[in-house]
Amino acid sequence: MPPLISVVTICYNAKNHLEKTILSVLSQTYQDIEYIIIDGGSTDGTVDIIHKYSERLFYWISEPDKGIYDAMNKGMDRATGSWINFMNAGDTFCDNEVIKNIFGYNDLSDYSVIYGDCYVSKLNQLQYLKASSMKKVHVQMPFCHQSSFIRKTRLRFSIDLKIAADYQMIYEYYRMNGISSFLYISKPISVFDATGISTTNNNLLQKEYGIVYKRTRNAYYYIYLCKQILKMVLLCQN
Tens of pLDDT, residue by residue, the chain (238 residues): 899 999 999 999 999 999 999 999 999 999 999 999 999 999 999 999 999 999 999 999 999 999 999 999 999 999 999 999 999 999 999 999 999 999 998 899 999 999 999 999 988 889 999 999 998 898 889 999 999 999 999 999 999 999 999 999 999 999 999 999 999 999 999 999 987 665 568 888 888 988 898 888 777 655 655 655 555 555 565 5
Q: How many CB atoms lie within 10 A of CB 92?
A: 22
Architecture of domain 5-198: Alpha-Beta Complex (3.90)
Buried (b) or exposed (e) across 129-140, using 16+ Cβ within 10 A?
bebeebeebeeb
Contacts of 21 (CB under 8 A, 6+ apart): 9, 11, 87, 88, 89, 90, 91, 92
Instruction: Report long-range pairs for 196-199 (Cβ below 8 Å, ≥24 apart).
Output: 197/122
Name the residue among 69, 197, 204, 184 with its Cα closest to residue 121.
197
Q: Are 10 and 68 in contact (CB under 8 A)?
A: yes
The answer to pTM > 0.75 is: yes
